[in-house]
Amino acid sequence: MPDKIKYILLLLVCVFAQAAFAQMPTNPNGYPGRQNQRINTNDTTTQQKNLTADQQMDSLRKKQDKKRDSVVFNSKFIKVTNERLLRDSTQLLPLDTGIVNFENYSPLNKPRSPKIGLGNLGLAERSLLFEPSHTIGFDAGLHELDAYMLNPEDINYYRARVPYTQLYLVTGGLKEQVFKITHAQNVNPRLNVGFNANFIGSQGFYSKQLLAQNVSDVNVAAFAWYESKNKRYNILGNLLYNNLKAPTTGSIVNDSIFVTGSIDKTSELPRLTSSFENWAQSGIYLKQFYYIGHIDSVKKGSGSTNILPTQRVSYTLNYNTRKYEFLQNDIDTYHVFPDYYFSSSRSRDSLSVTHLQNDFSYSFYLRSKNIKNEVKLDLGLTQDYYTYSQYVSDTTLNQYGVKVVQPLKVQQASFQDITLKARFSYRFSDRIGLEGNFSQIAAGRDFGDFLYDAKLLLAGGNKAGKIIFEGYSQSSSPPLVYTSWVSNHFIFHNKFNNQKTSSLSFNYINIPLKLDLKAEYFLITDYLYFAAQTGGIDAHPVQLGSPINLLKASIGKSFAWRRWHLDEYLVYQKSDYQATLRTPQFYSYTSVYYKMLLFNVLYSNIGMDVRYNSQYVAPSYAPGLGQFYNGPNVTFSSYPIASVFIKGTLEHTNFFIMYDYANQGLLSTGFYTVNRYPQMDHLLKFGVSWAFYN
């Protein structure tokens, strides 16, 4: 019994001793004492906290999130280039996500290249200012819908670390709609593929009769760009499809709509209700080049690298077919057309052109070690093979003696042109650059056409800006529509000289000052244009025997004061044949806006765009021919056209809300740019662009 008591007492002493030591604080080294040390009273081995179901779910989410990539993808992961940037080297640029000129979505309202047209987006257009063509060789001469075409040189190519998609929408109700989608992604680090799809729809502002003013344009392209692992071989290509339908109304019957007014403009009667022109084009474009010898590279500030070859060989294949159609389904009650040769109430005029181009070139580059000095020589040969055929609709007797309407081939031809090309350039320390381009058609239908161009660049540092002197001389064959044309309402068989253009220009650019000045002089010999008899509508090609002198001066400047910004662009042009070259002497574009941050997240601009041009003798338009011509000497009053807007950007989204032609009724009830064709009314428009990186 005493032994049992002894063991019990010993056990109690041990228990109380452990309890006593447990009350004493310990330091980080595990020794007792030191009252100023924090006491850790959490014993995770013996205590467990009961979690609710929601808390357990949050814990699981945290564990899953730790396993995921925490990178947030944005535009920095997308680089973009195009065929022009790949001509000399591999150049990549950051994706443009800004909102500068975001509201100027229409190809008719580009601030520095304004157009005139037949009233709304999608109809025939031409440049308001003098902008000569810079091409040689075969030309069909039909360009009234060029602004809505998608061409190989318009395609962008991407290097995307993540799939990139952009959706773009502009709507003004049924009056006007534009929708675009672009998608690009890398199949692997060296191969990028994607597609573009563009749509334009417009009912216009006058008459809702069938086909009266309904525009329907579709552009679709699939593209790809591959660059080999060693950076020596590149191939880019695209498949294109264009289908443009532009109604030909002959304008509305009421030629004084802005004077007499109208209760309901949509009830105004057009001269033609069911006639339109339809352009269809499809093609394939492939360009491949291989770098020979040593390859230089330059690191850019954006983190991208420019690959610079020392020798390069390239080959380009371009194959496309175009069909231009004019379909008249109306009796010409209001004398829109001058005459008819095959049918008074039905036209099925068409021109089909097939073009196959093979281009070969060799480039040699000689650079200093610091890559600032460079001499370059390009030699090339281009073969262009064309075949075209033109049809009209004619009534004939079949084998049973019954009248039938069928296509009649009125002309057909096949030919080729061989063009020799050379380019020389010299660059010295980024301060002096000299460049010369020479293109000469040495054999073929358009033998003798040439384009010689020279440019001198003088740069004086970032603050001093740079000066560019440029001059060119060009001789180009008359387009097909001027020399050999057969349609239901127009037939031409003419022999004209080549039109020749010589030009000299001076351009000063200062980026820090946001200033650019340009002065241009043009001498045009054997100028080709369309004209009509006095008071008539019988448009026909004419060649001016006297040379034309034209002086064009422009200035662009941006100002900023605190949050206020002003962008200004002014043009003055004067010729000694102002009645022949029907363009205004003065044009201005002004954009004034206020920058601010709304709700601490929305970067936005609120402002107004104003366009103005001085009075000029307005051109007329010839339906069925697709040409602007010098008709009656009509001059319209000219007033500013103002549009107010708010635009902004939030993360991956840009948007604008614009009230176009907001000053209608203030100075004028409406305006004309082409004889007989009233222009747009005021319209509230909304546009948005979404970008997705995933």
pLDDT digits (tens, 9 = 90+) for 628-643: 999 999 999 899 999 9
The predicted model scores a pTM of: 0.86
Q: Which helix (H) or strand (E) holds 386?
A: strand 374-397
- Does residue 418 fall inside a structural domain? yes
- Does residue 31 fall inside a structural domain? no
pLDDT of residue 305: 57
At 37, the pLDDT band (50, 70, 90 cuts) reads very low
* Structure tokens belonging to residue 277: 């022109």
Q: Which helix (H) or strand (E) holds 658?
A: strand 653-660
Express the helix, strand and coil content of the chain in percent, nearest 5 each. Answer: 10, 55, 40
pLDDT digits (tens, 9 = 90+) for 491-501: 999 999 999 99
- Does residue 126 fall inside a structural domain? yes
Highest mean pLDDT among 15-24, 410-419, 673-682: 410-419
Q: Across residues 536-556, what is the average pLDDT? A: 96
- Does residue 435 fall inside a structural domain? yes
- Determine the Cα–Cα distance for residues 90 and 387; give it in Å rounded to an integer: 35
pLDDT of residue 170: 97
- Determine the Cα–Cα distance for residues 266 and 258; give it in Å rounded to an integer: 14
pLDDT of residue 635: 93
pLDDT digits (tens, 9 = 90+) for 370-394: 677 889 999 999 999 999 999 999 8
* Structure tokens belonging to residue 341: 């040769």
The one-letter code for the residue type at 239 is: L
pLDDT of residue 194: 97
Rg of the chain on CA atoms, in Å: 35
- Does residue 271 fall inside a structural domain? yes
pLDDT of residue 147: 96
- Does residue 16 fall inside a structural domain? no
Q: Decide: 305 and 297 in contact? Cβ < 8 Å.
A: yes
At 53, the pLDDT band (50, 70, 90 cuts) reads very low
Q: In terms of pLDDT, which residue wins out, 432 or 35?
A: 432
Which residue range(s) make up the domain with 310? 78-693
- Does residue 151 fall inside a structural domain? yes
Q: Which residues are 290's β-sheet partners?
A: 233, 313
- Determine the Cα–Cα distance for residues 119 and 256; give it in Å rounded to an integer: 15
Q: Decide: 212 and 204 in contact? Cβ < 8 Å.
A: yes
- Determine the Cα–Cα distance for residues 627 and 631; give it in Å rounded to an integer: 11
Q: Is the pLDDT of residue 108 over 60?
A: yes
Q: Is the pLDDT of residue 68 over 50?
A: no
pLDDT of residue 105: 95
pLDDT of residue 431: 87
The answer to which of 85-94, 241-250, 418-427, 603-612 has the lowest mean pLDDT is 85-94
pLDDT of residue 7: 44
| Total structural domains within the chain | 1
pLDDT digits (tens, 9 = 90+) for 138-170: 999 999 999 999 999 999 999 998 999 999 999
pLDDT of residue 33: 39
Q: In terms of pLDDT, which residue wins out, 295 or 46?
A: 295
Burial class (CB in 10 A: 0-12, 13-18, 19+), 249: buried
pLDDT digits (tens, 9 = 90+) for 170-181: 999 889 999 999
pLDDT of residue 231: 87
- Does residue 20 fall inside a structural domain? no
Q: Assign residue 662 a region: left if phi > 0, alpha if psi is -120 to 50, beta otherwise?
A: alpha
Q: Is the pLDDT of residue 79 over 60?
A: yes
- Determine the Cα–Cα distance for residues 102 and 624; give it in Å rounded to an integer: 35
Instruction: Specify the CATH number for the domain of residue 320.
Output: 2.40.170.20
Q: Is the pLDDT of residue 395 over 80?
A: no
Q: Is the pLDDT of residue 576 over 90?
A: yes
pLDDT of residue 22: 40
